Amino acid sequence: MPYPYSLDLAHDWIGKQEAMRAEDEEFTYAVANGEGFIGTCGLQAHADGTHEIGYWIGEPYWNKGYASEAARAVLGEAVARFGAETLISGHFWENHASGRVLTKLGFRYTGEDHRWCLARQEKVRCLTMRLAQMET
Ligand SMILES: CC(C)(COP(=O)(O)OP(=O)(O)OC[C@H]1O[C@@H](n2cnc3c(N)ncnc32)[C@H](O)[C@@H]1OP(=O)(O)O)[C@@H](O)C(=O)NCCC(=O)NCCS
């Protein structure tokens, strides 16, 4: 995500959601707790038939299990709604919390590449991961 993240960027992103859902391109869920909206977790369909899972949680709510709970629920949706067989994901090498969320779900490391980080405006080493449904 870009940083700083302006209200205009948020409006723009929310505005695209309906069209992306209609095209089965991307399906994003809001993550909410008793206080309201605290983050998102979603799926992106790729041309090779894989589905990529991604998420963020507002910093005041980190380390309370929200991303793990949301990702597990979205994984269920990936199978039920999209018939997903293989899920992929990845995280920047130093994002250990995200790696933990994914390994707890059964994702395994497959390799690494360098991806453009919008927030830092530089390429960052990214560890790629995969979950084959038959392993769950
Ligand atoms: C990554 C992120 C989604 C995690 O959300 P969260 O709700 O805090 O995650 P959870 O509480 O479900 O799980 C975090 C796990 O990481 C562990 N963890 C946290 N910081 C860690 C660290 N520095 N090193 C190792 N493990 C760490 C926690 O102990 C927990 O594991 P556990 O359940 O075994 O105790 C959140 O930090 C975030 O939104 N970051 C910014 C956006 C982002 O990085 N998105 C993912 C892009 S790949």
Instruction: Give tens-digit pLDDT for 25-61.
Output: 999 999 999 999 999 999 999 999 999 999 999 999 9
CATH among 3.30.70.940, 3.40.630.30, 3.30.360.10, 3.40.50.720 for 7-135: 3.40.630.30
**Which residues does a 6 A CB cutoff place in the pocket of ligand 1?**
55-57, 62-68, 91, 95-98, 100-101
Query: pLDDT tens for residues 80-131?
Result: 988 899 999 999 999 999 999 999 999 999 999 999 999 999 999 999 999 9
Banded model confidence at residue 133, pLDDT cuts 50, 70, 90:
low
Residue carrying structure tokens 């690494």? 112
Residue carrying structure tokens 């309906």? 18
- Please tell me the distance between residue 67's alpha carbon and the centre of ligand 1 in angstroms: 7
Cα–Cα distance between 106 and 101 in angstroms, integer?
9
Helix (H, G, I), strand (E, B) or coil at 34: coil
How many CA atoms within 13 Å lie on the side-chain side of 97? 12
Nearest to 124 by CA among 89, 88, 95: 95
Cα–Cα distance between 114 and 93 in angstroms, integer?
10
Model pTM score: 0.95
